[in-house]
Structure formats: C-alpha cells, structure tokens
Amino acid sequence: MKFTETVKVVLLGGVAMLASCAAPPMGSGDSGVASEAPMPVKQEVELARQRPGLGTGWGEQVDSKIRYGSFERASTKPKAMEVIYYNNKEGVEAMSQGWRYTGSGMQTAAGGLVEWGVKTGWGYAKNVHSGGRRYVVGKDKASYSIVVKNRCHSRLELVMSVDGLDVMDGKPASVKKRGYVIDAGKTLVVKGFRTSEDAVAAFKFSSVSQSYSNLKHGTTRNVGVIGMAVYTEKGVSPWRWSQAEKAARTDAKAFAEAPLIKAR
C-alpha cells in the first residue's frame, strides 16, 4: 500500500488512529483485543536485572475510545522525527553531564508544528537538555501520558513509539506504520499501548527488568526512549490558512443581528 493514498482511520475525539495500525497487540486471536496483561517470553534475564534506571511497564486498562475517519500523507517520509529520552533522576543526571534545565511541561518540536511533553499524576515531567538531546525525569511505578498539541493550521499524523515499540500494537516501531491524526489546534493524550478500540494499557515507569519490552519481547535494547514521527496532510499547507477559513473570517460580523433602534 502506498502511504500517500487515502486510507481508513480511527478517530479518537479530535484525533485519529489509522485502521492499518490496529493489528492485534498481543496475538489474542481474530478479535485484535488483548484481554489480559502479556505473559513473559524468552529473555536475557540477567542483563535486564543488571541494568539500572527506568523502562516502561504494562499498566492497568484505561478507557480510550476510537472511531474511523481518513488521512492522506503528503509524503512517504516524515516531515519531522522527534525523540524524548527518559530515566529516573539519577539516570538523567548521569546521562546529561553539562545539562541545562528547561522547566517542566510542553516544549515545541517538529519545526514548531507541535508542542509535546510527558505528564504524570504530579504534573508534567522535568525537561533537561544536554548534547542536543531532551531528557525527562520519571519516577518508578508512576503512570504517565504523552501529550501532543497541534500548533499549525492543518491536521497532522503522528506515529509514536515507547521503548522502540509502536503505541498502536506493542510491536517493533516503524515510520512505515500508521498513527494518530490530530486536528489543527487540538491536543492528543496518549495514555498507553492500545489493546482494543475501547482501551489502552497505561504507560507505567518500571524497572528495566519489568519493562514491557523485556517481558514481552525479551529485549532491553531500546528502553528509555519515546519517539514521534510527524506527517503533514497532502495538499494542505500547515502554515497557511485555507481559502474557506479566510472567507469565513472575512465574512465574520461583530453582531449576529443588526441592532434594533426605536425612534422616539
């Protein structure tokens, strides 16, 4: 399938997930729904136990309903690719010598197309920049979400990954897969790995040995990284107002109805 063609998508509020992404995440038969937490597979147990810091575990089921729509990519190549690295406080300090603290919360990315950040129950995670990389500080056992705001004038498609795994199916991530679509000016909150059309398994900071990547796939190679590939929509400039929008604003009136003035 060519990635520039129009395909069926699944909408989540003001955003969407393409149907081609909705592969069964846990091999749960034809339903495509994971009914329970994943079972461990063959893994490098000792290596995982020895690694310090955080990974992302398989959390509780969280409601996250979706519906269908469509999106056509402007190109087979992403407009931008962004990465956030995460670890506990000690790990971030060790990885970011000569670090620069840049506050908690959302930060612009993809040439200004979006803002994004990592949010936990205590608010947005702290951001640290070092050596051209962005790090956020997490806490063991805390659930978290990836929050993205579309700052441009058109829809965007976001292919997202955690620990090298696609958030749509929990399998190895690739920019060739389809992702969420977010409307202009809207905010997307990705709470976990999708398990069905109605729910996700919450992202949860964990030890490396208890990470979903290790327990399901037997690897810890890519723990500690959150990825986002950003695609623009074919035939739509993300920075220019559409003719319809310009016409609507030109015709806008200060008063919906002319004031009624009575003569004395």
Q: Pick from 186, 194, 198, 156: which is nearest to 72 by CA? A: 156
* Residue at 256 is within a domain: no
Give residue 49's pLDDT: 72
CA pair distance 119, 58, nearest whole angstrom: 17
CB 192 within 8 A of CB 205: no
* Residue at 52 is within a domain: yes
Pairing of strands 133-137, 80-87: parallel
List pLDDT tens digits, range 198-240. Answer: 999 999 999 999 999 999 999 999 999 999 999 999 999 998 8
* Residue at 197 is within a domain: yes
Amino acid letter for position 44: E
Q: Please state the domain count of the chain.
A: 1
* Residue at 237 is within a domain: yes
* Residue at 258 is within a domain: no
Give residue 253's pLDDT: 81
List pLDDT tens digits, range 249-261. Answer: 778 888 777 666 6
CA pair distance 63, 254, nearest whole angstrom: 41
* Residue at 257 is within a domain: no
Q: What DSSP state is assigned to residue 70?
A: E
> Is it the case that residue 144 has pLDDT exceeding 70?
yes
Q: Pick from 55, 20, 100: which is nearest to 205 by CA? A: 55
* Residue at 259 is within a domain: no
> Is it the case that residue 149 has pLDDT exceeding 80?
yes
* Residue at 262 is within a domain: no
> 197 in helix, strand or coil?
coil
Percent of the chain scored above 90 by pLDDT?
Answer: 63
Which structural domain range is residue 216 located in? 7-28+38-250
